[in-house]
Structure 1
Amino acid sequence: MIPVFPDTKVALKGKKGLIVGVANDQSIAWGCARAFRGLGAELAVTYLNDRAKKHVEPLAQALEAPIFMPLDVMVEGQTEAVFERIGKEWGQLDFLLHSIAFSPKEALHGRVVDVGRDGFLKTMDVSCWSFLRMAHLAEPLMKNGGTMFTMTYYGSQMVVENYNIMGVAKAALEAAVRYAAAELGPKGIRVHAISPGPLATRAASGIPEFDELMDKAQSKAPARSLVSIDDVGNATAFLALDGAKLITGGVLYIDGGYHIID
């Protein structure tokens, strides 16, 4: 018998997801949030601080997000507060998108072998450990299984000029994805690292000579095209569907094929 698939517009209807990392309408997390919402999911959205709130609040309203809260992972208790409210109001969580990373300027702009301990720890804390912490808090809410996403980059596997200590953090993050996938898989929870090609986001603006990196990606990628936040969002949303329930623990490259080229 030929299977009858549900209308793709409501493929995530009834699902509830947390989106962490929307800074403005150029954010990868915003592209993902739009794709999730377009498939019928209900979303909780966080913003970094009061300064960011004015940029994120209109986007959260456009998503009709019933939960809109501050979340700075370096502020004690804020991460726990978000998950506590989700547990209280929704009683469940079906997917989690972690799209945050940070490295102090002096750590990011210097050589890896010169990075100070404080800079290294802060880079790893925000860029890697915060994902594990969110996974820990999300696990009991994913009673019927679920999906966890985090954002990585090609610089985790290959040395990319000027990516520096962030490449080390992303390599750790990808390892964390594999271990989390193995540990949570028996509960029906899958874990993914999403690796977009270079995008002109606010976070990327901190990387020296980023325009040159984008030009190189466009000229060398087999698709001869730069990725958009919508490209990333659509591919990420697919992995939250039931049809992708046996895909877990890997890195999905959304880069026009750039990662296969020497």
Structure 2
Amino acid sequence: MFSLQGKKALIIGIANDNSIAYGCAKALRRQGADLAITYLNEKAEKHVRPLAEQLGAEIIAPLDVTQDGQFTALFDRIRETWGRVDICLHAVAFCPKEDLHARVVDTSREGFGQAMDISVHSFIRMVRRAEPLMPPGGTCMTVSFYGAEKVVENYNIMGPVKAALESVTKYMAAELGPKGISVHALSPGPIKTRAASGLEDFDELLEDAAERAPTHQLVSIEQVGAYAAFLASEEAGNITGGVHYIDGGYHIVG
């Protein structure tokens, strides 16, 4: 079995113990990686810090991805503490509620820009800062959804936003491949996370996914984490640029 012993992993996007990022953090730690875990703000810290401490995270730091100063401070701390980073996971997405619930054609300019900045460009900003700390190579991952590829009812503007996220994943994989840095988009099926609960009729989406998936099961954060841990391993070093479906086959049934 693969090992991540001694690898240094940054996890961005844990909100609580139902977060996809938390499932990934658990799996990376189980395989031996040392963790740096961020929280959004003081309100989020009380939920995230206990989880990070349970996982033995060596770095626990604030990160609002809209604040460049916090991004800089985080990576400065990683440089001072570890001198490098081997794995970066980005699991951050946001859209103002009024735009998330609107038709795509009615999306405001401000809401569209905010959704793209937080959900997509923050991934670019993360990878840009990680690149100089990955001289032997490394792995960068983000989290997408099938609504990037096909129209999913009530996913609305987040479909085009996730499509952009998948596209930048491919372009960055092409640019960074010669440096040994792989870039991936994880695409889990519907999971009952805090962020996803903001979608209209989300419980119906969960039921539909379980019914339509060939396995007739919803994916768990632990299963997503196991896949992410493999992609972070040396054994997966020649895999890059992909959108990796972890959804019980949900994406193949149309």
TM > 0.5 fold call: yes
Task: Work out the percentage of aligned pairs sharing the same amino acid.
Answer: 59
Aligned partner of 1:214 among 206, 225, 241: 206
Shift of 1:107: 1.0
Identify unmatched segments of 5+ residues in structure 1: 1-6
Pairing 1:186–2:199 present: no
Q: Map of 1:249-260 to 2, 5 A cutoff?
A: 249-260=241-252
Provide the residue aligned with 1:58 in structure 2: 50
Equivalent residue letter for 1:75: Q
1:133-189 deviation digits (Å, cap 9, x = unpaired): 000000000011000000000000001111011111100000000000000000000
Structure 2 spans left out of the alignment, 5+ residues: none
The alignment yields a C-alpha RMSD, in angstroms, of 0.8
Give 1:63 deviation, angstroms.
1.1
Partner of 2:23: 31
How far apart are the structure 1 equivalents of 2:84 and 2:66?
A: 25
TM-superposed CA distance for 1:100, in Å, is 0.5
Q: Within the alignment, does 1:141 sit opposite 2:144 as a pair?
A: no
Kindly state the Cα deviation for residue 75 of structure 1 after the two structures are TM-superposed.
Answer: 2.4
Secondary structure of the residue that 2:10 maps to in structure 1?
A: strand
Does 1:12 find its partner at 2:7?
A: no
Instruction: Report the CA distance between 1:89 and its aligned residue.
Output: 1.2
SS across alignment from 1:110: coil
Number of matched pairs:
254
Q: Using the alignment, how far apart are the partners of 1:106 and 1:119 within structure 2?
A: 8
CA distance in 2, matches of 1:151, 1:232: 10
Q: 2:72 aligns with which of 73, 80, 83?
A: 80
Stretches of 4+ aligned residues off by more than 3 angstroms: none
Distance 1:219 1:115 in 2: 31
The residue that corresponds to 1:4 in the other structure is: none
TM-score, length-scaled by structure 1 = 0.96
CA distance in structure 2 between the partners assigned to 1:226 and 1:159 by the alignment: 19
In structure 2, C-alpha distance between the alignment counterparts of 1:177 and 1:75, rounded to whole Å: 22
